[in-house]
Every structure is written in structure tokens, then in C-alpha cells.
Chain A
Amino acid sequence: MAQSFAFTVNGKPVSVALDNEETPLLAVLRNELGLMGTRFGCGLEQCGSCMVLIDGEAEKCCAKPIWSVAGKAITTVEGLGARERPHPLQQAFLDEQAGQCGYCLSGILISAKALLDRNPSPTRAEIAQALDGNICRCGTHNRIMRAVAKAAAAMRAGASA
């Protein structure tokens, strides 16, 4: 018997009907809503490829049952920005060429967004700590951390302008 679950994704209200209330949010985003930006990496809440913002907090969603996010506000990487209007983080990642295979980047961008929302001037150590829940296997860590610092500076400059 299908149940209905309502929440918002990137500011838009959505409602999905599912037989299984344990269906992970990641599977709903990808397979029901067609939002492929959030990646599957492990299904075990270990690697961070599936990081999304849930009511502003960065959380792994590959094992998060859909019932637990009913009524909540979800932000995915698609909600940050797009090519024609990039988020300062995305612009900084482009500027720093902060990626190799790029599979981890969606989750990292989300973790970085959550960090900058609570700490607009993070140190390298604070950035590293905020990204420790995300695995990058290619070894692009330093570029990624530089990009986050650069985005933070751009956002501070934008806020004071």
C-alpha cells in the first residue's frame, strides 16, 4: 500500500508515493525525482558522496529512510547553482580545477556549504575537519580545500559589498 511523503527539494514542494517507507532519500532523489547530482557511493553513510542539506545540516542520505525527512527542507547540489548562475563554491571549484574524477564533488560541495553557513572564515584545519566525512579517492584534497577557502573569501567580499 503506497504511502505519500511530502517535503521540499531545493525550495520546491514535492510529494512521492512509495510502498516502502524505509526507501532511502537518495533513491528517491535519483530514481523518483530524477535528481542524479547526489551520488551513490556506499549505501552505508560512510563516504559522503550522497551528502545533502536537511533543514540546513549536511547529512548523508543513502540510508536515511524517507519517512524521516517528511516535512523537511532538502537541498541538493542542483540547488546550489547551475552553469549559468554558479554558487560561489562551484565557481571556486572551477577556478581551482578542484576535481579529478569528480564523483565525490557533489557531497563535498554540500559539506562545504554547511561549513560556510556556520563559519564564514574557516582555517585549513577547520575545512579539513568539515570534509572528513567525505572521501576523495583521487587525491584532490588540497585543491578542494583551497577552493573552499577561496569561495569563503568571495562570499565574505560579496556580503560586505
Chain B
Amino acid sequence: MNAPLPGLLNDNPTLERWVSFPAPGKVTVGTGRVEFGQGVLTAMAQIAADELDVAMERITIRSGDTELTPNEGYTAGSMSMQFGGVALRQACADVRGLFFDQAAKVIGCEASALSVRDGKFYRNGVSTGQDYWTLAGAIDLSIKATGAGRRKAAGELKVVGKNSARLDLPAKIFGERAFIHDMQLPNMVHARVVRQPNRGAAIRSVDEAAIRRAGKGSIAFIRNGNFLAVVGENETVVEAAAAAAANHVTWQNDEAPMPSQLEASWLLQRPSIDRTLGAPEPADSQGHRRVGATYSKAYLAHASIAPSCGLAEYRDGHLTVWTHCQGVFPLRAALARTLKLDLSAITVRHVQGAGCYGHNGADDAAADAAIIALQMPGKPIRVRWRREEEFVHEPKGTAMVVKLHALVDEAGKPADWTTEIWSGTHQGRPGGGNPLLGGEALPDPLPLPPPSDVPEANGGGATRNAEPLYDIPAKRIIHHLVPETPVRVSSLRGLGAMANVFALECFIDELAERAGQDPVAYRLSITADPRARAVIEKVAQMADWQPGPPTGAGRGRGIAFARYKNRAGYAAVVVELTIDEEICLAHVWCAADSGLVVNPDGVVNQLEGGIIQSASWVLKEQVRFDNGVASFDWETYPVLKFSEVPEIDVSLIAGGDDIPLGVGEVTAGPTAAAIGNAVSHALGIRIRDLPLTRERIMATLLKT
């Protein structure tokens, strides 16, 4: 009786989608996970190298292809290693087992007498002349996984757990054609979409002559309902025409977000879908002191360094789409719905793009190319969004308001805890039935799905990390899902975890202060979880944490902690900063426990990146509205610069878990809260609304 298959292997049982042996000495490993700079393909190759006992150099990774690879949904939520990696391990173990059985049969011995090194079989240490490739012809890998192969124990792993140079980096360091943006297909034409301002907006007029004049070259117009695009062979001409087009197309029923909708508090006045999770609310305060505070975060942009890009070709009734989106299978399904094609008539292939940090414009750019390709059969279409288009039209990370109230006992510890959240959804992905942007402009756009957010079973959206991990007798979450937001919103790195952890961990500091306790000691006094204690204690030691009251002298330090989704990786962060009108980050320390570490240097890289991106969100970032989205370039949406980045020390703690837990998102919340706590420590006053810009700090100082 075999153990149950890992879920993703159960969903994708055909072994050859995971492993194949295409030529002597070569191994192809398939994964539904896709690379966007997080190093996932290198980690997958390490896993396969270990389980198959072949050298890394023999492995070619095939990733995100609806024809060829497993369907693993989205590469998101820091789940690639935890779920995709485990499925790949079992698939490799099954394949290895099949080869052992076949080798034993051919050699005429017990499988137990055999060992394999770099794909070659040895009998009692002596070469047998047999290897994976001599045997491959006799093994049918189109069969289904059984789970019969024994996965190696942690102690047997030789490649997993050691630093491995990223497979994708050389192409990016030597300026090779590493990105989808660099793809050129024969007879390809360039296209840009004239974006519909909002669902329901209709084209009133198009001044084609003016747009042609602006392009200074040959272009054609593609029109389908309110979907309008400019196409041509010369990208410079097409780009110039598209940039000018907004001034030469008029719309009716267009709406634009207003400055009054900018503040997160606007959400409080909107209709919402409400529910309560957790313990019922107590009838009274049970003699405890009631304490509360309200925190918020602004709308954030993914702000990928590269504008989204998609290519498509419709030939002989088959649509092929190249995309850098996070899920080729969900995109294929959404394209089928939008374009009214059969799934079997569409192939979607992943090609690397720049970092996306969640659901950005990638799916929409691919859909744009597909819509145009259907109208120009036989012509490969390349759509590359303009910078302004990316900022204005990518789905944003929603604003959130998080109101916390606690009943505090005589020892100053929380006896009862409520997290009340107002938020747009964190689930706008096309896989959830949500529309592709270009599809909204087509005649008879698909109906919108009912409002929803990511279910708690998947880690939650607005409710992600809304429950403190601390030992508190009664805890609950009140969730107000606000279906209508001023801009389209969807998944941004960490979803609700950043705002929730910011709120929770700042509030914990406020409770510690009320109790007259040091923030580190206070956290440890309400945490039994040994892995939580370990990262908190470690980071305090790294930062040489000294208890002390707020200085009010412009120099401060803060700590914060979270376990991502309360069930994945642990991270604790200490931030040291100075404030002289503006915040200057001096140093960040981080201790993290992410279970089994596949590529330690890759994990550190992800943790550092999460810290810096979160610092950027907290110090600088906010999507502005002013009769439209007014953050449309890097000057109106500034991010952290090299000279503003602090030095960072990261330490990994082995928590004794043999499952890798993912690290891309674990530091975002703790970093945000540690900065918030350090600001409070430095100024002696608490700022509860993000971002912590110079203007906000000055305004708060003036008020007090």
C-alpha cells in the first residue's frame, strides 16, 4: 500500500510530463511552475538531480507549457517548493524505481544489489554498463505515478541543501535573449492596444488620420467592439501612434477614480460582504481593559521593471500564445472563454519575463495579442504594453483598513482579540473567472463572477495572517469584502499578509508598551511555538537587541514577526533607522525558518528581496488618483533607490521540517511592521497609515 500521492502528482499523474530521457546523457524535467526571478527552476533541477541521482548539468527544465508540462495552476503564494517540489520529488522517485526494476531484470539480479550514480547502474560497486539511457527504450513513462518509489530521506540528499548557481542568470548577465520581450517570430507584427478606460466604456470616435500622423509611418487599425489596436511592422511607429491615440479617441460611459477614493478609509463607507471567522464575540469585557487601534495601507502597484508582453499566432484554426504570466493553464481556460474557442484549439507557453510579484498585466497582454491574432490569421502578433499602460491598467494590490481590538488582562496580555478588515479582493486572476482586460472591450463581454476573495483553505486573501499566531484564548476575524474598488485589484505579493502583519505586529508593540515590557520579551511571553521563539530570539541576538524605551531622538529600532499564512515559513525582522523628516533605513536583520532549504543562497536572495520590496512599499509607494490613475511612471510612482537600501543580514534556521515552505513572501509583513515599530521608537509617536512618507511624518509631528 503506497502513501497517497502528493496532490499535484495526483492531478498530473502521467510520469513523462515530469521526467523524460530525450537523448543519451540528457534528462528533461517538467514543472508547471514558472520562473520570474525567484530561482524556482534551479531549485526544481536540484530536487530532480537528487532524487534521480544525475548531475545537474544533464537536466534541462521544461516549464509552464499546456502541451508538455504538469498543470500546477499558478506559480504563486510561495507554494512552488512546498507543493510542486514535493510532487516532483515523488515523480522522480517513481521513475527511479521503474529504472531500478528494469535494470535488475536486464542485469539479472535483485534491485537491492544495485546502486545508481549520475544515471549509471552499479552492482555491488562495479559498473554494469547499464544506465538510464540504455534502459529508457524499455520503460513506458506514459504510465501513471503510483507513489511506489521511495523518496530519499533528508539525510540522503546531496544537491538539495547546497548552494546552486541559478540556471537562468547567465543569459541575463550576458545580455542574451532571456526574455519574452526579446522573442522575434518570422513575419511578426507589433501591436499596441488603445485601452478602454473601464468596462462598459464605448468608443464614440476615432481620429484615425491624427493617429497615423503621430506614428509617422504605416499602421493598420484592428477593431472589435470597443477593442481597438494599432498594428504595424515598425515598432517605433506603432508605439508613437499608440502613445498619441489616447488624445484622438473619445469614449462614452467612461469613469475615472477620484482623489477622494485614494484613501483606504474610503472603503469603510462602501457596501460590503461581511462575515465573522473564529470565536464568537464576548458579551462584555469580562473585567479586562479594552484597547484598539486602526491601521491602513494604500493601493500598491506591482510595478514590474518590464512592461507586460505577449505574443500570439492563429494558424490553421489553432491559437498559440507566449506569455510570462504565472499560470499557463488558467490563462488557456480564460482565453477559451473569452475568445469562444475550445481548450484543444489553444496552446499557451511560458517564456520568462521580468519579476511580476503577483498578478500584473502579463495575462492581459497575452490576451491582447490573442484577440488581435484571431483577426489576423497567420500573422504572429507581438504586444508590448507601454510603461504608462502598465502602471494605469495593471491590477493593483488593494488598499486595506485593519482595525484591531483586544481585551487585555491584568498582566497586560491579550485575553481576547478581534481583527476587523475592510478590503477589496485579492483574487482578480483570470483563473477565478475574472475577465481578461481586452475581453472587456469585446462585444458582449463575459459576465463578471460573483465577488469573492481567496478562501482560507488557500491561505486567505484579505484574511491572510489576520489571526495573530500568539497564544490568545479567544480570537476572531471580521472580514468586510468591498466588491467595488476605484481600480481593478488582484493578487500582490503576500496578499493581505502585509497589511495584517503590519497592523498586528505594530499593535503587539503598543500592547507591550502599555504593559511596560520590552517588545521582544513581550512576544516571547505570549508564544509557545518553538519555531516562532527561535526566529525571534535569533534575530534579537543578531541585532544585539537591547531593551529600552522610545528614544524620541530620531533613531529607533523595531522588531516584528510572522509565520506566513500561519502555516508556512517563519520570519522575524529587526529594523534600525534614523528619521530626519525622512526615514533612512540603517540596517535590517532577519532570521527565517522555511523548513527544508533547497538552495540556501536562493532562499537568502528571496528573503532580501522581500525585505527591500516591503521597505519600498512602506516608505514610498502609493497609487495616486486624480481624475484617473495619476501614478503612470517612475516619477509619479517612486520606488526605493540603491542609495536608500539598507544593509541586510539574513540567518536561516533549520526548523527540522523536511518540507520546503517557500520564502518569497515571508518577510513582507514583518519588515513593514518592524519599520513601523522602529519609527514609533524613534519619534515616540505611532503612525498607523502606510506609506510612511515624509509628508505623513511631518503632518503627524505637527499634529502632536
Q: Mark A119-149, 1 if CB is under 8 A from B, else 0.
A: 0000001011101101111111111110000
A-contact bits for B643-678, CB 8 A (1 contact / 0 none): 101011000000000000000000000000000000
Q: Is the CB of B166 within 8 A of A101?
A: no
Bound Cα distance from A30 to B175, whole angstroms: 11
Smallest CB-CB A-B distances: 7 pairs: A37-B175, A102-B172, A101-B37, A139-B612, A77-B175, A139-B609, A101-B355
Do A102 and B639 have beta carbons less than 8 Å apart? no
Given A23-B236, A43-B386, A106-B175, A131 and B355 touching (CB < 8 A)? no
Q: Do A86 and B306 form a contact, CB below 8 Å, given A39-B179, A44-B633, A142-B645?
A: no
List the A side residues contacting B387 at CB < 8 Å: 41-44
Q: Judging by beta carbons under 8 Å apart, are B236 and A24 in contact?
A: yes
Distance A104 CA – B634 CA, assembled complex (angstroms) = 14
Contacts of A58 in B (CB 8 A): none
Please provide the chain B residues from 356 to 412 with a CB less than 8 Å away from any CB of chain A in the complex: 357, 384, 386-387
Contact of B216 with A101 in the complex, beta carbons under 8 Å: no
Nearest residue in A to B182 (C-beta to C-beta)?
A36
Select the residue from B165, B182, B305, B648 with max chain A CB neighbours within 10 A.
Answer: B305
B179 touches A103 (CB 8 A): yes
Instruction: Name the one of A129, A132, A141 contacting B612, with C-beta atoms under 8 angstroms.
Output: A141
CB distance from A12 to the nearest CB of B (A): 16
Cβ of B610 < 8 Å from any Cβ of A?
A: yes
- Residue in contact with A136 in the complex, picked from B39, B305, B606, CB distance below 8 Å: B305
Q: Are A137 and B303 in contact (CB under 8 A)?
A: yes
Residues of A within 8 A of B648 (CB): 142
Closest chain B CB from A100 CB (angstroms): 4
Write the nearest CB–CB distance from B599 to chain A, whole angstroms. Answer: 10
Majority SS of interface residues in chain B?
loop
Contact A19 B305, beta carbon cutoff 8 Å: no
Q: Is B17 an interface residue (CB 8 A)?
A: no
- Per-residue CB proximity of B173-211 to A under 8 Å, as 1/0? 111111101101000000000000000000000000000
Closest Cβ neighbor of A47 among chain B residues = B634
In contact, A102 and B216 (Cβ under 8 angstroms): no
Any B CB within 8 A of the CB of A154: no
A40 to B165, CA, bound (A): 26
Any B CB within 8 A of the CB of A4: no
**Chain A residues, Cβ within 8 Å of B465:** none
In the complex, A58 Cα to B235 Cα: how many Å? 25
A99 sits at the interface (CB 8 A): yes
Q: Using a CB-CB cutoff of 8 Å, which residues 11-67 of chain B contact chain A?
A: 36-39
Cβ-based interface call for A68 (8 A): no
Q: Which residues 303-319 in B have Cβ within 8 Å of A in the complex?
A: 303-307
CA A142 to CA B588, docked complex, whole Å: 12
Point out residues on B near A: beta carbons under 8 Å: 36-39, 165-166, 168-179, 181-182, 184, 216-217, 234-237, 239, 303-307, 352-355, 357, 384, 386-387, 601-602, 605-606, 608-613, 616, 633-635, 639-643, 645, 647-648
Residues of B within 8 A of A125 (CB): 643
Instruction: For B612, give the chain A residue with the smallest CB separation.
Output: A139
Question: How many pairs, one residue from A and one from B, have CB atoms within 8 Å of each other in the complex?
Answer: 176
What CA separation (Å) do A104 and B306 show in the bound complex?
Answer: 9
**A residues 90-113 touching B (CB-CB < 8 Å):** 90, 93-94, 97, 99-106, 109
CB distance from B420 to the nearest CB of A (A): 31
Q: How far is the CB of B344 from chain A (nearest CB, A)?
A: 33
Q: How far is the CA of A102 from the CA of B304 in the complex (A)?
A: 12
**Residue A160 lies at the interface, judged by CB distance under 8 Å to chain B:** no
Contacts A31-B235, A42-B634, A138-B37; A78 near B175 (Cβ below 8 A):
yes
Given A37-B175, A101-B355, 12 other A-B residues pairs in contact with their CB atoms under 8 A: A27-B235, A44-B633, A80-B175, A90-B174, A94-B173, A97-B605, A99-B166, A101-B353, A103-B353, A106-B175, A135-B305, A140-B609
In the complex, what distance in Å separates the CA atom of A137 from the CA atom of B353? Answer: 13
The CA of A144 and the CA of B172, in the complex, are separated in Å by 13
B172–A132 touching, CB < 8 Å: no
CB distance from B607 to the nearest CB of A (A): 9
Once A100-B355, A101-B355, A103-B354 are accepted as A-B contacts, the answer to whether A137 and B170 lie under 8 Å apart by CB is no
Q: Which of A105, A137, A141 makes the CB contact (< 8 A) with B304?
A: A137
Q: Is A99 a contact partner of B173 (Cβ separation < 8 A)?
A: yes
| A102 adjacent to B169 (CB under 8 Å) | yes
Cα–Cα distance between A97 and B182 once the two chains are bound (Å): 23
- The closest CB in chain A to the CB of B635 belongs to A46
Partner of B608, one of A23, A106, A139: A139
A117 CA / B303 CA spacing, docked (Å): 32
Q: How near does chain A come to B464, taking the closest CB pair, in angstroms?
A: 21
> Contact: B169 with A46, CB < 8 Å?
no
Asked if A102 contacts B175 (CB within 8 A), the reply is no
Q: What's the Cα separation between A9 and B213 when bound, in Å?
A: 31
What is the CA–CA distance of A130 and B611 in the complex, to the nearest angstrom? 22
Closest to A96 in B: B601
Bound form: Cα–Cα A97–B599 in Å: 12
Q: How far is the CA of A90 from the CA of B609 in the complex (A)?
A: 21
The smallest beta-carbon distance between B7 and chain A, in angstroms, is: 28
With the chains together, A80 CA to B647 CA distance in Å? 28
- With beta carbons under 8 angstroms apart, the residue of A86, A136, A139 that contacts B611 is A139
A-B contact pairs, 18 of them (CB 8 A): A20-B216, A27-B236, A40-B307, A43-B239, A46-B634, A47-B634, A77-B174, A94-B165, A99-B173, A101-B355, A102-B172, A103-B353, A104-B305, A127-B642, A137-B613, A139-B612, A140-B608, A141-B642
Give the distance in Å from the alpha carbon of A7 to the alpha carbon of B304 in the complex. 32
* A94 closest partner in B (C-beta): B173
Q: Which of A37, A77, A97, A145 contacts B601 (CB 8 A)?
A: A97
